[in-house]
Amino acid sequence: MSKLRQFPSRSALRVARMRPVDVLVLFGIVAVFYLVVRVGATADQPFDAGKPPVVSTDPGDLPYYAARSLLRMFAGLVPAVLFTFVFGTWAARSRRAAKVIVPAIDILQSVPVLTFLSITVTGFIALFPHSTLGLEFASIFAVFTALVWNMAMAFYQSLTTQSKELDEAARLMRLTRWQRFWKVDVPSGMIAQVWNGMISFGAAWFALSASETISVNGNDNALPGVGSYVTQALGNGEGWRVALAIVVMITMVVSVNFFFWRPVTAWAERFRTEDCEIAEQPRSWFLELLRRSTVPTRLGSVLRPAGERLDRAMRVLGTSPGHLRHDPVRRKRADLVFTVLYAVAVVAIVAKACSYVLDNVPVGEVGEAAWLALITYGRVIVLVVFSTVVWVPVGVWIGMNPKVNRIAQPIVQVLASFPSNFLFPLAVIVLGASGISLNWGSIALMALGAQWYVLFNVIAGASAIPGDLREAAADLGVRGLLRWKTLIIPAILPSYTTGALTASGGAWNASIPGELVTYGTTTLTAVGIGAYITQATDANDFARNFLGAVLMSVYVVIINRLFWRRLYRFAQRRCAL
């Protein structure tokens, strides 16, 4: 009897056939890969520190400059994510590591990027003395530092506040450390990580635009990018070309939000573990297009064997730790040794820093610089109070109205992502025409980039209020001030605290270009530590630059410890829904 021939079913043929949407997705992947390779190949160019580079202000070069800037942003995002996963997990799983990592992150995120940008540029130029790769790595490092601290702290906090049910499940199933990380830790912190990554990405645009043009050792260094284009156009007094660059920048920010952050935000909702769904699920047309395509599934099946081999290789790390019994005496001795070594290291670093500053800066000038930092801090306080009074009610209104939220949230993302220093020339013209001193006008310049973080976080907190709580408040007739006191403020306080803390940090960063502004032949200067640092950087005075950064960090760390951290713990303990 002859064997019957087997034919594939119609469903099998239907899966194997390429669809039009698959062709479109494949074309997009190939196009992005080609652009990355083509643009990245131009990063390695001959470099001579004695010859200042020339940045063209031809509008035809703007698309290429925008592509170079965008590539640097994502080149900084990748190591930031890796750093977040490694050190965030290490700090959450090791009590001793947390004593070092968490304070270090707290201090480093308080130091404005611009204060040590000249130092990193000098170091990377020394590594690549005859290539522009040194400038490229310095710019990417600036983006990395603007991204990583907030992301790492957010991931650490998501792990330390992980539910006991997930922790017990991981221990009972005897998951390996790698399986615990990849299947429990990362998914449980995904939503917070995506939102904080989006906020940090917006702040990194400012660092990128500043890092593309900087003066070191009396030499002007520049990279092809939107930031250097704007700087050159400002120096030439070409206002219309600055306006054109602003349009390109807005287009680039909107495109990144549409093709990257919006799909990632909508995709991250699959990891939400709350009992009540949010009233309005984030939606993304681009994500729906990818879901209709079979290309992601095919790529997943191709990469699955590599993932399984990686999972087997990571078993050497051991299983997820259980409730182990430790010798209390031995543990106390180890803690004592660690504390002593840690204290000695901190004292040695502080003593070395103080010795360096006092050897190069007069003692009287140190006190004067401290007074300048206090003046700048007064501007930061005014900005945070203004942002709270104005944007908290607006953010609650947007967050609690799904239809308004769908329209307003992308606009807020663009405002938070836009480099505020691009608008400084317009501010110079307005301040010069109105006769307002930059001592007051610098508050408005600082607010251009910092105030949006309060609004953004309040929107996120208000939109996450469960629908059943809103309905219960309405049914009980809770309105007006009582509704704010019993429902809205407890719900948004953790998000507001994060936004206000981020806004204050952004204001410190913005004080450096905001207290000394130049447009053409006009230069306006305000009294403050930001102008002090800018003048020290232009004069290649590392000691005074370092002094300004240290004083700024001291003020930020003190107020964070005395006020913001306590408010954040209170919000988590008493006001989280």
Residue 419's nearest CA partner among 274, 282, 573, 242 is: 242
Tokens of 18: 């390429």
510: left (phi over 0), alpha (psi -120 to 50) or beta: alpha
Question: Once rounded to an integer, what is the mean pLDDT over residues 254-268?
Answer: 85
What average pLDDT score do residues 105-122 get? 70
The arithmetic mean of pLDDT across residues 372-401, rounded, is 89
pLDDT at 49 (0 to 100): 64
Rounded Cα distance, 290 and 279, in Å: 24
Burial of residue 342 (number of CB atoms within 10 Å: 0-12, 13-18, 19+)? middle
Q: For 409-440, write each residue's pLDDT tens digit.
A: 777 777 777 777 677 767 777 777 777 788 88
pLDDT of 371 reads 92
| Burial (CB count within 10 angstroms: exposed 0-12, middle 13-18, buried 19+), residue 535 | middle
Percent of the chain with pLDDT over 90: 3
Burial class (CB in 10 A: 0-12, 13-18, 19+), 461: buried
SS3 category, 214: strand
Q: Provide CB contacts within 8 A for 251, sequence distance 6+.
A: none
Residues 158 and 163: their CA atoms lie apart, in Å, by: 10
The pLDDT value given to residue 540: 73
Q: How far apart are CA 69 and CA 80, in angstroms?
A: 17
Residue 135: Cβ-neighbour burial (10 angstroms; 0-12, 13-18, 19+): buried
Across the chain, mean pLDDT equals 78
Least confident piece of the model among 273-282, 385-394, 400-409: 273-282
Which residues, other chains included, contact 521 with Cβ-Cβ below 8 Å and sequence gap of 6+? 237
Q: Are 195 and 413 in contact (CB under 8 A)?
A: no
In the DSSP assignment, the letter for residue 48 is: -
pLDDT of residue 324: 42
- What are the tens digits of pLDDT across the range 18-59? 678 878 888 888 888 888 888 888 877 777 765 656 778 888
318 vs 292, higher pLDDT: 292
Q: Per-residue pLDDT tens for 532-558?
A: 888 887 777 778 888 888 888 788 878
Q: Which two tokens stand for residue 572?
A: 């988590």
The span from the CA of 142 to the CA of 121, in Å, is: 9
Report how far Cα 242 is from the mean position of its chain's Cα atoms: 25
Q: What is the C-alpha separation between 535 and 115, in angstroms, rounded?
A: 11
Question: pLDDT band at 403, cuts 50/70/90?
Answer: confident
User: Is 1's pLDDT higher than 80?
Assistant: no
CA distance 112 to 106: 12
Separation in Å, CA 320 to CA 3, 158, 180, 252, 310: 53, 18, 7, 43, 17
What is the rounded CA–CA span in Å between residue 457 and residue 511? Answer: 22
The mean pLDDT of 374-382, rounded to a whole number, is 90
Amino acid at 130: H
Q: What is the pTM of this model?
A: 0.78
pLDDT, tens digit (0-9, with 9 covering 90-100), for 58-82: 888 888 888 999 999 999 999 999 9
For 215, the enclosing helix (H) or strand (E) is: strand 213-216
Q: How far apart are CA 326 and CA 96, in angstroms?
A: 15
The pair of three-digit structure tokens given for residue 561, joined into one six-digit string: 């410890």
Lowest average pLDDT, out of 113-117, 204-208, 318-322, 375-379, goes to: 318-322
The CA distances from residue 108 to 115, 148, 333, in Å, are 12, 10, 30
Are the C-beta atoms of residues 225 and 72 closer than 8 Å to each other? yes
Which of the pair, 373 or 112, is modelled with greater confidence? 373
> What's the CA gap between 6 and 108, in Å, rounded?
66
pLDDT tens for each residue of 136-194: 888 888 889 888 887 887 788 778 777 777 777 777 777 777 778 888 888 877 877 88
Structure-block tokens of residue 264: 């990632």
448 confidence band (pLDDT: 50, 70, 90): confident
Joined together, the tokens standing for residue 33 give 């890969």
Name the pLDDT band for 118 (thresholds 50, 70, 90). low
* Mean pLDDT (whole number) for 489-505: 80
3-state secondary structure of 223: coil
Domains defined for the chain, CATH in brackets: 19-43+55-299 (1.10.3720.10), 336-577 (1.10.3720.10)
